Amino acid sequence: MYDDDTLYKAFTGVDYAFVNTNGFAIGEKNEIYWGIRMFEIARSCNLSHFQYASLAYSSKLGGFDPKFRSGHLDGKGKVADFISAQSTTPMKWSVLTSCMYLETLTELLAPNPSPEDPDVMVFSAPVGKGQPPLIHLPDLGRYARWIFDHPERSNGLNLTIATENVGWEYLAKTFQEVTGKKAVFKDITLDELFASKAFPFPDGKVGHSVSPGDPTLQTYRQNFSGFWNTWKADLLKVDYALLDEILPSRVKTLGEWMKLTGYTGEKIPVLKDYQDHAKKRAQGFKERGIEK
């Protein structure tokens, strides 16, 4: 998808485009370039409506304090700012700004049994008293469809979506109420996060992308430090009254989501790239005759 000729072919004869680039694969600099380029090519191919999947521009929200810089957030946020400066005619445009998925509470954000008492589930995160917004994935898709179905309202709109702002103490309490299982919140430091098995990413001087030698790239540690600092500081604001108007049947609370999905805290894969990485890693162990 990161190729001019391919994009011209993909956008020719198309009325609508939902564009979601993978910043982890290509890095912030390439994500900015290709996000803008995709908009330009779509416009030249006479699309009716271009929808861009964005995330919070964390650096901008934090007054460009370096502690809030997160490449995989900022890259999309910068493209969203570019799109927001463009005319809404003849090609309509909309931005869908999302956040962490509630479904990652079964994967990256899943609780673990307490070492002292296995009957107690521990939700750990370097979030302090922050209450980051989280979104139910099926609702994310419904907001995207609403944008295409209601161009009279969505044209020129940067729609920030979420299910609810969730503090981790509230998370543990709601889990107890819904499941009947004991749970606690453990506020950890960034150092503790990166030293834990719950953090599946490599770290070091090499940045994340297909061009690891690029000096503009952050390491995983730098990227996710800015990511968690953003949520800890409650930088992203959500207009829930607007969301209720747009999608009255949306899931509105964490507890409602837990009941709807039968959430138990069990670890269930969500993100395809993590699953692919796990399979590749297991195959490598097998080929080397290592039991893992």
The domains of the chain are located at 4-286
pTM of the model: 0.91
Query: What is the pLDDT at residue 205?
Result: 45
Query: What is the pLDDT at residue 216?
Result: 83
Give 250's contacts (C-beta < 8 A, 6+ positions apart). 136, 139, 142, 163, 243, 244
Instruction: Return the number of other C-beta atoms located less than 10 Å from residue 162's C-beta.
Output: 25
Query: What is the pLDDT at residue 269?
Result: 85
d(CA 256, CA 264): 13
Smallest CA-to-CA distance from 158 within 4, 53, 33, 275 is with 53
Query: What is the pLDDT at residue 220?
Result: 85
166 Cα distance to chain centroid: 15
Q: What DSSP line would sit under 130-165, residue for residue?
A: ---EEE-HHHHHHHHHHHHH-HHHHTTEEEE--SEE
Whether the CB-CB separation of 8 and 56 falls below 8 Å is answered with no
Domain covering 4-286: architecture: 3-Layer(aba) Sandwich (3.40)
d(CA 92, CA 55): 20
Whether residue 90 is preceded by a cis peptide bond, meaning omega within 30 degrees of 0, is: yes
Query: What is the pLDDT at residue 121?
Result: 98
Averaged pLDDT, groups of 10, the chain, 292 residues long: 96 98 90 98 98 98 98 97 98 98 95 96 98 98 98 98 98 98 97 82 56 80 95 98 98 98 93 69 68 56
Smallest CA-to-CA distance from 27 within 276, 210, 220 is with 210
Query: What is the pLDDT at residue 214?
Result: 81
Query: What is the pLDDT at residue 210?
Result: 59
